[in-house]
Amino acid sequence: MNYMEKIVPIVTLVGHEIMQHYRTDFNIIAKDSWSFYTDVDILSQKRLEKELRELIPGSGCIAEELNVYAKHEFTWVIDPIDGTRNFVRGMPYFGISVALMHYSEVIAAVVYMPAMDDLISAQKGLGTWLNGKKLLIDQQRYLSAGALIVASAARLARVEQLNTIKKTLGPVAMGIRFRACGAAAVDLAYTAIGVYDVVLFENLKWWDAAAGKLLILEAGGYVSDYDKQEITESFKTVIAGNPMICEKILNANIL
């Protein structure tokens, strides 16, 4: 079954609905002392959960907001707005992340950035696609265009470690740069299409990474935790992207 034919229209429509609220007034609700969600997150999640679960009757759902956790043979993994803080501040770097699991295996994924109208999708065995065009990670591009690595904000504070990563990769024309963008699912999706070369993250949630895992693997990329083990729902760390760069960083034992 081609799940993309069913999932993409739903995610696209919800993305358009989110854009109706972009840079307008909406309610911000605190989760705790350092994070929050909006009523737009809730609208998005409820619409996605309802329509996606109708595609596969009896399917479960794991979603970021409102403590939704119901795992079945088929389970949807949803982040209704990845990068909520960016969305609230009017930055276009946010997206919807949806993955479909069969038991514990991710078999389909979509990440849609409605403000930029970029839709990145994948289905197991069918490759990764950007706006309808099939893509593979260019493993040599960083040698001439420079390497771009996304890391957590906490890791960016570890200057000595970043310098060690630079030394590990050796001389790279145009240099090596690091970014912290505030939307991990979007970062992973853009890594799948070669915008970034590598992502390094700790302490994400499954809805941050489930879709990106499949997007990168189907594009010919590498995904594991820092111990070179497969990431699953209980993962703690993730390194993903260009296989050659990931291998160099992991083999240097610097994470």
Q: Which residue has the tokens 């760390």?
A: 237
List strand residue ranges (DSSP E) for the chain, in order.
28-30, 36-38, 60-63, 68-70, 74-82, 95-102, 105-113, 118-123, 127-130, 133-135, 147-151, 176-179, 198-202, 222-224, 237-241
Predicted TM-score (pTM) of this structure: 0.95
pLDDT in tens, 192-218: 999 999 999 999 999 999 999 999 999
CATH of 4-135, one of 2.60.120.580, 3.30.540.10, 3.40.30.10, 3.40.50.300: 3.30.540.10
Which region among 31-45, 87-101, 115-129, 218-232 has the lowest average model confidence (pLDDT)? 31-45
Domain 4-135 shares a fold with domain 142-251: no
Is 142-251 assigned to CATH 3.40.190.80?
Answer: yes
To which residue do tokens 């760069």 refer?
A: 245
Show me where the domains of the chain are located: 4-135, 142-251
Strand partners, 98: 78, 110
Q: Are 129 and 16 in contact (CB under 8 A)?
A: no
Instruction: Quote the pLDDT of residue 173.
Output: 66
